[in-house]
Amino acid sequence: MLDQLIFHHLLGSKVGDILDRQHVLIKQKHQAVRSAILQGGGMDRIIVRSKELIAATRAHFVSEERAMDTIPLRNFAAHKDMHAEIIESLEDISHDLEQRRISGAMELLKFFEGRIVYHLDVEDAALVRELTS
């Protein structure tokens, strides 16, 4: 299993490489949720896999925000606001999962495939350009 990557642990690594590895980890966690649902793994397995996906996404956002904070002359408030909105939605979905509602897992997949994939592939690409310019 890939370690969750945090910027301060990887001094000397390229920001884009770190984000790419985190994106791969998050997408692997997403596939694990999807597999748990499609294979009829039961609610316990679905909940565990969903919580892993949410935790990986949160860790990624913390890592990104640490990188943003290393560049004090630039304002990344809009990107941080996107993170806060996504986390709020993930917390709502997580609550549904804790109530053992399968709809929570389905909602997580739908939310991931729409909002989070877009964030990882488009908005984070813009962030990497900003951080490395």
Q: What is the model's pTM?
A: 0.72
| Sites in the chain below the pLDDT cut of 50 | 1-13
Tokens of 103: 């709809």
pLDDT digits (tens, 9 = 90+) for 32-61: 988 888 888 788 888 888 889 889 999 999
Burial pattern 89-128, b for ≥16 Cβ within 10 A else e, equals ebeebbebbeeeeeebbebbbebbeebbeebbeeebeebb
**pLDDT for the residue numbered 101:** 66
Q: Which of 6, 31, 2 is nearest to 18 (CA)?
A: 6
Q: Which of 83, 105, 81, 109 is nearest to 94 (CA)?
A: 105
- Rounded CA-CA distance 76/66 in Å is 11
What are the structural domain ranges in the chain?
12-132
Residue 21 Cα distances to 14, 17, 65, angstroms: 11, 6, 16
**pLDDT for the residue numbered 7:** 38
CATH of segment(s) 12-132: 1.20.120.50
